[in-house]
Amino acid sequence: MSLTKTDIRNLILAAAALAICALLPLGDNGYWLGLGVTIAMFTTLATSWALFSGPTHYISLATAAFFGVGTYVTGLGIDALPFWSLVAIAGLIGAVLAALVGLATLRLSGVYFVIFTLGLAELVRQSITWVQNNTGQKGLYVLTDLDEAGIYWWLLGLAAAVFLTGWLIGRSRLGFALRVIGDDETVAAHSGINTARAKVLLFMLPGAVAAMTGAILAPRYVYIEPSLAFAPILSFQVVIMALLGGASRLWGPLVGVIPFTFLLEAVSSNFPNQTTLVIGIAFLVIVYLLPGGFVGLLGKILHRLNAREGA
Amino acid sequence: MNRRPFLKLVSALTIATALAATAASAETIRIGAVAPKTGPLAGGATVTQWPSIQLWVNQVNAAGGLTVDGEKMMIELIEYDDQTNPGETIKAVQRLATQDDANFIIAPYGTGLNLAAAPLFDRYGYPQIAVSAITDQQADLAAKFSNMFFTLGTTTALAADVVKVLSGMRDAGQMGNKVAMVNVADAFGIELATAAKPLFEEAGFDIVYETSYPLGTQDLSPVIKGAAAAAPDAFVAWSYPPDTFGLTEQAMIENLDVKAFYTAVATPFPSYGTRFGAAAEGILGAGGVNPASPAFMEYAAAHEAVTGAKPDYWASATTYASLEILGQAIEAVGLDRAAVSAHLKESTFETILGPISFDENNSNAAFWTVGQWQGGVFKGVASRGRDGTVPVILKDGWE
Amino acid sequence: MVNPVLSLRGVTKRFGGLVAVNAMDFDVAEREVVGLLGPNGSGKSTTLNLVSGALPLTSGTVSLWGSPISGLPAQTINRKGVSRTFQLVRLLPSMNVRENVIAGAVFGHRRRWGHDAHDHAEHLLDKVGLGGKGDMPLRQLTYIDTKRVELARTLASDPKVLLLDEWLAGLNPTELQIGITLIKSLRDEGRTIILVEHVMDAIRSLCDRCVVMAAGTKIAEGTPTQVLSDKEVIRAYLGDDDA
Amino acid sequence: MDILVTGILLGGTYALIAMGLNLQYGVARIMNLANGEILVAGGYFAFIAYTATQLSPILTIFLVAPLAFALNSLIYRVMLQPLVNRAKSRGQLESDSILATFGLSFIGVGLMLSFFGGDYFSYSFMAVPVEVLGNTYGANRVLSFVMAVLICGALYLWLNRSRAGLSIRAIGTTPASARLVGIDVKALSAFTFALGGAVTAVGGALISTYLTLDASTGVVFTLKALIIVIMGGVGDVRGTIVAALLLGILETLVATLLDPGLTLAAAYVMFLGILLFRPQGLFGKKPT
């Protein structure tokens, strides 16, 4: 594999952007850092989501399930193991869980996948609470010295890893296979692509990343409760942010996450009593006015410009 | 679809921001509040948290405000909905602390959300007088977050006093020693069940039926039937609001024959009494108050007058008391948050619940633990250091 | 036949109560071009789908060089050297012409990646007559060009057996001649080919042997001249009007 | 026996929850994530009618049904028809409608909050025991089961015996061919969507007699309904009924014999099992 000049330039630019982002906690340690954590968290989740769902068109609503598993890994292990190993374990468990779910459901058509993944968070949550209940486990408190800046840097590192992985996958046979599958699964199979394996492999990525994100954020929540750790709303937020940006490009979700986070922030600070209502309206505006996300919008504008130049 | 709704939204946003900016004048005390208005805990917060906040702010401002350094200052309340999402709670507290420059922030609602906010209250030095955060970790938490205070009691106390009340009934020969114990499979229910089980066994009770059910179970009749089959003398459920209602209705339908029937959260809600009417008579539940005390009666009347709803018979009054404490501390030492925290640790405050002070673990040692519906009112039958407990009565059928 | 490349034994496919393919038996020798003929709905395309792995068999076996491939998934059969086109052209709409061809080269019988795959695709595009059109988006292609892209993709994995499902249908006379020449050149490279075809000119000039199906069953087998004069075959095509 | 009856009663509840969605998803092809909010709204209506005027929920449903029908008809025409028109494929309509109805469900929760507040609403209606086969059950549950039987039976007869029903089933099977034989797909899709909404709201009104609801609980019901519809086979009334009953019986079995904590896990295992072995659902037709 060789890098072209553009590749090298892009990598340097990305590294520079990452370095600038990493400086945020030095500038502001409060409100903006808090927003930074939110943005980093959703960027990580939405980008990894789009790596799978973008090419395959499967809408996964399993983010909350993996995320919750991750918070539980930290919650259960924080007194026994170092934090970094918990993040790694969470990633591993997330990947294995995703592989199992993928093996069971990815052969099915899209809508069954949507519903099964939506139920998955509830299923995992019930199973965990049942085990907790039957082992007499007390509430989980995650009391660490990891502060907001530390969590931010962890998330930023994970986000960088996701982007790098996504970039590498895009250049790999796996990435190419997924584009073929997304276009026409029959052709893919008849071109020698093991479609089931490719999909399961790729589904493990958002599974692992969401679990790691959960593990990283657990210290921020301090107290791990099933109903909070597995809140299904998270899955939907990730989907809408990724689609707002556009799932067809690696950087697409990022351009969805940032404006959406600020929009949510504006809504919840200005309409404390109608937050849900206004979020719902914003949702519809996106669906009706921006069907292809910002990426699609950009594509349209570029297309129009090109057409004008050609004429 | 045209673009107009979006434009409206944008202009509404602009106006709202402008208003928020002008309203923040120097003569007011800005107090922030963040709690669920939506999400799974919204039902509870709407009964217990928000109305008491509304009432307190209303009353203080009607009296001309809080007296700070000899000057009357009105309260400006800034409310946020955290959607029962700890991430949102964190964002809202941060916003209150850094963007809104809130002088004080009222503690959030629920154990999880209070603890998610605790590191921020700690970092910005806000006193956090938590109400609906029931935990046995008070000592550890207070050690880590020195400005965090606890008012509503501990998990173990809540469970221990149920055991104590039931032991009393048994020792008086009113019932046998067979207990059916169930719990909702969520953090709160699991913690209470785990704490209660050894206590029941120590007290010589025989746990004849024990199970848990998931949050949001739609049909609880298998639970009640299972319990009935074990023929217990007492039924104890560490339950949450929807299942508290569901279990009670099923017990009524099954005519569950027990001498003591206990459900936890939401039993003291006024809507519980309205719904079950006479059948509620003798039902035990978590919490309680002294409804005969003039202070509570006055509070309940004002609550209904201002918010249009009755307070519950447990955490509502404690929430209000926590605000009284905050107000008194501000009046005593001013707007300096560190001074307020210090004052909270060393003083005793007169509240509608009676005097409240915090011990070395920042915990209020005097709180209600068990109450019972008697004559259409939920009365405290057991407490730690509170006056006005009434004797417990037997559950005598469901008619 | 000694050492057939592909052999079908008792191959049967049922859809519920309908028997689409009924106990098909035939062999294909190396470098042979076999035509699969029959009226519409006689089960030709279904047979092809059973060979390529697009559909599972109800019973019977398909063997490739003596080892059974029936029951294997399509991708495994493709990797063993069997490659196909589709009755209705199937291309990958989000990719340009070259990428469409590369898609056939990366995962199949002989795998290529990177520059190797790129160069191979260019070579194949030249071969099918699309030289220099690699960067074109699909929507700018004519109908025959889409067929050419599909054929190039099918060839990209260097398959031993080619299954062409009505690849010559819908072409005008000039294009047809080009197509026939192209398929001949493929046989001359040493590939074994099964054609599902209706175009009689193509069948006569291309096929070494023909298998004729009617209502899911094989009714005749032989050289094109033999089968096209077979009474059974004529009745199947023209109907039973003299009975 | 007791388990069976309890399970069947619970199954009746589930049928009420899922039947409306089945119509909406099976025919109008809209996976309506706002289904639960319509259900809760129906419950609110019954609650208000009962507490304010003592109007029995059995009568309330005759008010709820036309109101919900009109509301859902409006929703379909204003919000969903454009999506149907612009969708290039089934998949695109699916993801568009998931997102749009998810937004709608937020708006539904928001509206209910601002009108009614976030408090739990529960009232006691017919919470008296009735004896069935030697065991006691809540009269309100039995009543809602009877209503479920009536509603499902009426829907089944109507879909299978009437001309309009036949057309609707034709759209559910193959929308493109239905258009060819002169069926007004647009109008009937809108009608079925609205009908589905009305059935859901009536279900909500009946369920509110024994379940405690609040403005934010809708999503719980949406999820259950989706699972039942998929298990039963999209667009098949019998499938939904059978799946609802199976789920009710299974949950009661597990709750009684094993552990109530495992009911949900058992439900998902059953869901997954059906998906793996009969991906088209219990009564669904295999796509050809």
Residue ranges of the domains in chain C? 1-81+160-169+186-243, 88-159
pLDDT of residue A31: 81
**Contact across the interface for D226 and A126, Cβ inside 8 Å:** no
pLDDT of residue C243: 41
pLDDT of residue A225: 80
pLDDT at residue C146 above 60?
Answer: yes
B329 and B243 in a common domain: no
Best of A2, A178, A187 to mutate (most C CBs within 10 Å, chain C): A187
At A311, the pLDDT band (50, 70, 90 cuts) reads very low
B219 and B122 in a common domain: no
The Cα-based distances of B20 to A44, A267, B79, B141 in angstroms read 33, 13, 12, 35
The Cα-based distances of D236 to D24, D91, D158, D241 in angstroms read 11, 21, 13, 9
At B381 the three-state DSSP class reads: strand
Domains of chain D by start residue, with CATH: 2-277 (1.10.3470)
Phi, psi (5° rounding) for residue B258?
Answer: -130, 160
Contact A96, D238 (CB under 8 A): no
pLDDT of residue D140: 83
Q: Among B216-230, B283-297, B350-364, whose mean pLDDT is lowest? A: B216-230
Q: Is the CB of residue D86 less than 8 Å away from at least one CB of chain A?
A: yes
Q: What integer is the mean pLDDT of A66-92?
A: 91
Give B66-76 pLDDT, tens digit per residue. Answer: 999 888 899 99
In a domain, B344, yes or no: yes
User: Mean pLDDT highest for which of A302-306, D164-168, D223-227?
Assistant: D223-227
pLDDT of residue B24: 43
Give D190-229 pLDDT, tens digit per residue. Answer: 888 899 999 999 998 888 888 888 887 888 888 888 888 8
Identify which has the larger pLDDT, B310 or B216. Answer: B310
pLDDT of residue C241: 52
Distance CA D43, CA D45 (A): 5
**Contact across the interface for D118 and B254, Cβ inside 8 Å:** no
Q: Among A44-58, B290-304, D85-99, whose mean pLDDT is lowest? A: D85-99
B280 and B211 in a common domain: yes
pLDDT at residue B6 above 50?
Answer: no
Distance CA A266, CA B356 (A): 39
B126, two tokens: 């806000």
pLDDT of residue B34: 94
**Contact across the interface for D223 and A133, Cβ inside 8 Å:** no
Q: Which of B39, B48, B42, B40 is nearest to B272 (CA)?
A: B48
Identify which has the larger pLDDT, B313 or C243. Answer: B313
pLDDT of residue A65: 93
Burial degree of A301 (CB within 10 A; 0-12, 13-18, 19+): exposed
Tokens 């039987």 correspond to D149
Find chain D residues with C-beta within 8 A of A278's C-beta.
110
**Contact across the interface for A34 and B99, Cβ inside 8 Å:** no
At A137, the pLDDT band (50, 70, 90 cuts) reads low
Find the closest chain D residue to B38 by CA distance.
Answer: D216
Best of A24, A138, A285 to mutate (most B CBs within 10 Å, chain B): A138
Find the closest chain A residue to D33 by CA distance.
Answer: A115
**Contact across the interface for C95 and A179, Cβ inside 8 Å:** yes
At A109, the pLDDT band (50, 70, 90 cuts) reads low
- The contacts of residue A292 (CB under 8 Å, 6+ apart) are A246, A299, A300
In a domain, B2, yes or no: no
B134 and B42 in a common domain: yes
B308 and B278 in a common domain: no
Query: What region does C65 belong to: left with phi over 0, alpha with psi -120 to 50, or beta?
Result: left
pLDDT at residue D286 above 70?
Answer: no
pLDDT of residue B5: 46
B256 and B380 in a common domain: yes
Rounded to a whole number, what is the distance in Å from the CA of A217 to chain D's nearest CA? 25
Find chain D residues with C-beta within 8 A of A111's C-beta.
31, 94, 230
At A142, the pLDDT band (50, 70, 90 cuts) reads confident
B58 and B38 in a common domain: yes
- Buried/exposed B231-256: b ≥16 CB within 10 Å, e otherwise: ebbbbbbbbbbbbbbbbbbbbbbbeb
pLDDT of residue B267: 92
Contact B128, B329 (CB under 8 A): no
pLDDT at residue C242 above 50?
Answer: no
B263 and B161 in a common domain: yes
Range of the domain at B51: 27-154+293-368
pLDDT at residue A215 above 90?
Answer: yes
At B65 the three-state DSSP class reads: coil
Q: What is the mean pLDDT of chain B?
A: 87
- The contacts of residue B11 (CB under 8 Å, 6+ apart) are none
**Contact across the interface for D275 and A105, Cβ inside 8 Å:** yes
**Contact across the interface for B116 and A221, Cβ inside 8 Å:** yes
Distance CA A179, CA D133 (A): 60
Distance CA B296, CA B316 (A): 11
User: Mean pLDDT highest for which of B159-163, C13-17, C178-182, D157-161?
Assistant: B159-163
**Contact across the interface for A180 and C103, Cβ inside 8 Å:** yes
CB contacts under 8 A, B 270-299 vs D, are 271, 274-277
B222 and B95 in a common domain: no
- The contacts of residue D64 (CB under 8 Å, 6+ apart) are D42, D45, D46, D198, D201, D202, D204, D205
A→C contacts (Cβ < 8 Å), by residue, are 1, 173, 176-177, 179-180, 182-184, 186-195
At A77, the pLDDT band (50, 70, 90 cuts) reads confident
Give B318-339 pLDDT, tens digit per residue. Answer: 999 999 999 999 999 989 999 9
pLDDT of residue A136: 63
Identify which has the larger pLDDT, B357 or D284. Answer: B357
**Contact across the interface for B218 and D211, Cβ inside 8 Å:** yes
Give the residues across from B367 on adjacent strands.
B384
pLDDT of residue C63: 92
Distance CA D227, CA D128 (A): 31
* Residue of A233, A272, A289 with shortest CB distance to B81: A272
Sheet holding C67-68, edge to edge: C18-28, C6-15, C59-64, C67-68
pLDDT of residue A239: 86
Give B96-122 pLDDT, tens digit per residue. Answer: 998 889 999 999 998 889 988 998 899
Within chain B, residue ranges assigned H as helices are 4-23, 42-48, 50-62, 86-94, 111-124, 138-144, 155-171, 187-202, 221-229, 241-254, 270-276, 294-307, 315-333, 337-346
B275 and B173 in a common domain: yes
Give D7-38 pLDDT, tens digit per residue. Answer: 888 888 888 889 888 888 877 778 888 889 99
Give D249-283 pLDDT, tens digit per residue. Answer: 988 888 888 877 788 788 888 887 887 777 677 77
At B284, the pLDDT band (50, 70, 90 cuts) reads very high
At B217, the pLDDT band (50, 70, 90 cuts) reads confident
B379 and B233 in a common domain: yes
CATH number of the domain at B324, please.
Answer: 3.40.50.2300
pLDDT of residue B3: 39
B162 and B287 in a common domain: yes
Burial degree of B330 (CB within 10 A; 0-12, 13-18, 19+): buried
Identify which has the larger pLDDT, C223 or B7. Answer: C223
A129, two tokens: 């609470």
Rounded to a whole number, what is the distance in Å from the CA of A8 to chain D's nearest CA? 36
Per CATH, the number for C1-81+160-169+186-243 is 3.40.50.300
- What's the total number of domains in chain B? 2
Q: What is the mean pLDDT of chain D?
A: 82
pLDDT at residue A1 above 70?
Answer: no
Distance CA C162, CA C194 (A): 6
What single DSSP character describes residue C69?
-
B171 half-sphere exposure, CB direction, 13 A CA radius: 8
Give A167-205 pLDDT, tens digit per residue. Answer: 998 888 888 898 898 888 888 988 888 888 899 999 999
pLDDT of residue B277: 85
Give D176-195 pLDDT, tens digit per residue. Answer: 677 766 777 788 888 888 99
In a domain, B393, yes or no: no
Q: Is the CB of residue A285 less than 8 Å away from at least one CB of chain B?
A: yes
Distance CA B323, CA B51 (A): 12
